[in-house]
A = this chain, B = another copy of it.
Amino acid sequence: MNFNFSERMQSIRASEIRELLKLTEKPDIISFAGGLPAPELFPLKEIEEIASKVIIKQGQGALQYSTTEGYNLLRQIICEQRIKPGATKPTPDNILITSGSQQALDFTGKLFINKGDVIICESPSYLGAINAFKAYEPTFIEVPMDEDGIIIEKLEEILEKYPKAKFIYTIPDYQNPSGITLAVERRKKLVSLAEKYHIPIIEDSPYSELALEGEVYPSIKSFDKNGYVIQLGTFSKTFCPGFRIGWIYAEEEVLQKYILIKQGADLQCSTLDQRIVAHYMEKYCLDTHINKIIEVYKKRRNIMIDSMIKFFPKDIKFTHSKGGLFTWVELKEHMNSAELLKEALEVNVAFVPGASFFPNGGKHNYFRLNYSNMSEDKIAEGIERLGNLLKKYY
């Protein structure tokens, strides 16, 4: 048995950190590695009540095949409740339900990328997006960021050099991994560059509703009058990731292509889960639930930041994220965070080394910390242990 696999399998390789991350699943570990929401906040009683009703009262539909586009009520509620007001108003015909945002990323690769095509992303960018796109063998061009996100002048230089780039991929709010938010003026500028170069912007928005402090910025999509922005949303961070329910918001003409891709890829998302999520949002206020999440995450972030200030060597830079789930740590240039992880695991602390967030590799002196999934006590304890390790190098 020695099969001849496709060439793309050279790009879809096991991450070198995957084995290391398996060690983070030991029960006594303080893990800042995942991007998991806090499960103790899931509204189990309400979900159970809704699920029971959906199965008993509409089970013949809820457990049967359904349309590829998704459950109509869910698409309607997304339009009404989850998409912020903007230049154009979405209808259900602009929404495709996907298996989390991850599937929307895979479909975006499938829709746009021929082998060797240039795609533009932030540096660093989301690991899961990089992996999804890699399957279609693009050339990644990374745009540098400052504390206000993508540096527009650098992006313009790149667009001039690569006018045939297929899309710009960005996470404008509380970016994964860096925690950085894109400034409002830059959002507007991004849309006008998209129009100038006829290049779509993929706006990935899993954290936009998790503002822990400060002003909430309008989405890039809200400035888009002419359909250049394809926005991705998900319930994984604001409700429960186990349902695997996300969505793509795009112009109908583009959405139709995504629907055809979905049909070939897996026909449709779970009919049952779509209906549970829709009927939960019909009966309960998701915003109220999100406010509870924000309250808890804010405390956890504060403890993490305070502990980093207290226990980390003074020279270490990290983002004071204003929302989302992550902070991003920069070590001295010659340091390697994957090596540091090995040491950290010895004292039962875990994080994700930063190299995998740079699609073209080469930067080893960063790591990502998640604060949403550990109790305040554990966060303080874990950061202290990490601080003690780091002091050896500073």
Quick one: which of B36, B110, B253, B272 contacts A242, CB cutoff 8 A?
B272
- State whether the Cβ of A198 lies closer than 8 Å to any Cβ in chain B: yes
Quick one: which of B42, B228, B263 contacts A59, CB cutoff 8 A?
B42
How many copies, total? 2
From A244, which residue of chain B is reached at the shortest CB distance? B270
Q: List A186-210 residues whose CB lies under 8 Å from chain B.
A: 198, 200
Quick one: which of B59, B63, B100, B241 contacts A64, CB cutoff 8 A?
B241
- State whether the Cβ of A61 lies closer than 8 Å to any Cβ in chain B: yes
CA distance A45 to B136 in the complex (A): 44
CA distance A270 to B6 in the complex (A): 28
CA distance A44 to B62 in the complex (A): 10
Quick one: which of B132, B243, B256, B263 contacts A63, CB cutoff 8 A?
B243
Q: Are A254 and B14 in contact (CB under 8 A)?
A: no
Quick one: which of B1, B45, B66, B266 contacts A100, CB cutoff 8 A?
B266
CA distance A135 to B263 in the complex (A): 11
Q: Are A34 and B106 in contact (CB under 8 A)?
A: no
For A63, the chain B residues whose CB sits under 8 A away are: 39, 42, 44, 47, 240-243
List the 6 closest pairs (A to B, CB-CB), nearest first.
A242-B271, A63-B240, A39-B60, A63-B242, A44-B59, A99-B266
Q: List 28 A-B contacts (CB under 8 A).
A: A1-B226, A1-B253, A6-B113, A6-B136, A7-B114, A9-B111, A12-B257, A39-B60, A42-B64, A44-B63, A47-B55, A47-B63, A48-B51, A48-B56, A52-B52, A64-B241, A65-B236, A66-B242, A98-B266, A99-B99, A99-B266, A102-B266, A102-B267, A106-B265, A128-B267, A243-B270, A244-B267, A270-B270
